[in-house]
Amino acid sequence: MSKNVTVISSTLRKNGNSELLAQEFAKGAKDAGNKVEFISLRDKEIKFCKGCLTCIKTNKCIIEDDSNAIIEKMKNSDVIVFATPIYYYEMSGQLKTLLDRGNPLYTSNYKFRDIYFLATSADTSQNAADIATSGIKGWISCFNNVQLKGTLLGAGVENAGDIINNPVLKKAYEMGKNV
């Protein structure tokens, strides 16, 4: 059965390693017959949450920027994929800000059930994304019947493009193919 998959890349570097990883996932998902939308946060305006909680009553954020359209796409997706570079063992600020702005989803009739988390780091440790993964798990725990379906780390990739020819790209493709 075909699924609606939204892949969100949070790197600000064009052709950054986490973006290339996300593109491979998206390619696998598309090749498997799914409808895939790829969103880059690079040129998006996403302001900080003000904590006003109006969204809990209205299911929409009062701040006018690009996040409202992204949140709507997330709401109507079966699968959401978050991709981020790891900075100081944490997800990018852009991704964290988007997750905070996703508060209107909490009280909405969201469709998503499966979340995937893709990360890249200059650090070679396979634990480099553990704190960021914990943050994603915390976000997921706010939603009923939603699970972290898979994670993938491309470690030891610092400069844009270092991930090219890395076996983790094939793993991303296969993970996408199996959503």
pLDDT in tens, 91-105: 999 999 999 999 999
Q: What is the CA radius of gyration of the chain?
A: 15
Q: 14 or 134: whose pLDDT is higher?
A: 134
Mapping DSSP to helix (H, G, I), strand (E, B) and coil, where does residue 51 land?
A: coil
List pLDDT tens digits, range 25-84: 999 999 999 999 999 999 999 999 999 999 988 989 999 999 999 999 999 999 999 999
Q: Beta strands of the chain (E only): which ranges? A: 4-9, 35-40, 79-85, 114-121, 147-155
- The terminus-to-terminus CA distance of the chain in angstroms comes to 10
56 touches 103 (CB < 8 A): yes
Segments making up each domain of the chain, as ranges? 4-177
Residue 5 CA to residue 56 CA, distance in Å, equals 25
Determine contact, residues 97/48, Cβ cutoff 8 Å.
Answer: yes
Residue 127 is given by DSSP the state T
CATH number of 4-177: 3.40.50.360
Tell me: the pLDDT tens digits for 1-22? Answer: 899 999 999 999 999 999 999 9
Say if residue 144's pLDDT is above 90. Answer: yes
> Residue 1: what pLDDT?
87
Q: Model-level pTM?
A: 0.97
pLDDT of residue 54: 95
